[in-house]
Every structure is written in C-alpha cells, then in structure tokens.
Amino acid sequence: MLPIGSAAPDFRLYSTPDQQYSIQDFSGRNLILAFYPADWSPVCGDQMSLYNEMLQLFRKQNAVLLGISVDSKWCHQAYTQSRNLHFPLLADFEPKGAVAKAYGAYDQKEGQCERALYVLDDSGIIRWHHLSPPSVNPGADGILDALGKINSKR
C-alpha cells in the first residue's frame, strides 16, 4: 500500500456509462477509497451496505465515499440499483486494475482488487490505510477514527 503522508495518485474512472469521477472532483473534501474484490459477492455486499448506512456519519466528517473494483460500469450500475447504494462505485475495468495497482491494492493472482481502504484529507494526502483479507469485512471504525483525527487537526 502507499505510504501515509504521500499524495494520492489521481485517476478518472466511470461510475455509470456516462459519468466519471476523479480525486480532483472532490477537492476540499476528505475522501474514502474503498477497494473491494467484486460486486455481488457476499462480503462485498455486506461491506458496501454498511458504508451506505454510514454515509451520514461520513458526511458529518466532510467526507465522500468511493467504492472501487474491477467490475464494469454496467455491472456497477445494476449493483448500485439492486443494493440501493447512494455513493459512486467506480469501474477500474480497463486497463484492468490500473488504479488498484497504483494504490498497491490489486491481487494479481485473482485478477481483482484487494479489500483495501484509504482515507485522504481534503488536500489529497493519504492519512490512513488498511488492508483486510478478502473474506473479512473491515467495518467502518478505522475510517471514522481516521476522519476524526483529520478534522481534529483543524
């Protein structure tokens, strides 16, 4: 994973067939990047549903959440609708896993993202990260702690 205190690499990825996002789109906001293996997997579903429920708490910390996997924008669109998610899922689809690789969050053997979390401050600096085994939902406590530390320094 990338070192704490380093600038997060920027990217531009599709969320829907006609909408893209980059880190620069969220300048002035803290950013949570949740890399996850795949839409429709049980642990990923639990993790994304938990984060969907936590959105108000993230927003109170001036934070935006982005989910990232190697699934396509079409798959993300269907998954978002099925799960009633209210945050963007980004398609690191082609070149496959390029953003995950840049963040040290790509499982080459499986051809999918690792279950990795990054919290960036409002300047795009990495302030916290965490890597979980694929079968473990990392929850939200670490994210909330990291956001609290960022905001307490203001």
- Report pLDDT digits (tens) over 109-140: 999 999 999 999 999 999 999 999 999 999 99
Q: What is the pLDDT of residue 153?
A: 80
Sheet strands side by side (includes 12-16): 19-22, 12-16, 89-91, 63-69, 30-35, 115-120, 126-132
pLDDT(13) > 70: yes
Which tens digit of pLDDT belongs to each residue from 54-73?
999 999 999 999 999 999 99
Torsion, Cα of 20, 25, 31, 37 (10° steps)? 10
Active-site annotation holds for 113: no
How far apart CA 111 and CA 130 sit, in angstroms, is 20
Q: Which fold has domain 12-152?
A: Glutaredoxin (3.40.30)
Per DSSP, the residues of 57-107 read HHHHTTEEEEEEESS-HHHHHHHHHHHT--S-EEE-TTTTTHHHHHTT-EE
Q: What is the mean pLDDT of residues 14-30?
A: 95
Catalytic-labelled residue, pool 44, 64, 140, 147? 44
Task: Quote the pTM value.
Answer: 0.97
Q: What is the pLDDT of residue 154?
A: 67
- Looking at residue 25, the DSSP 8-state letter turns out to be G
pLDDT(20) > 90: yes
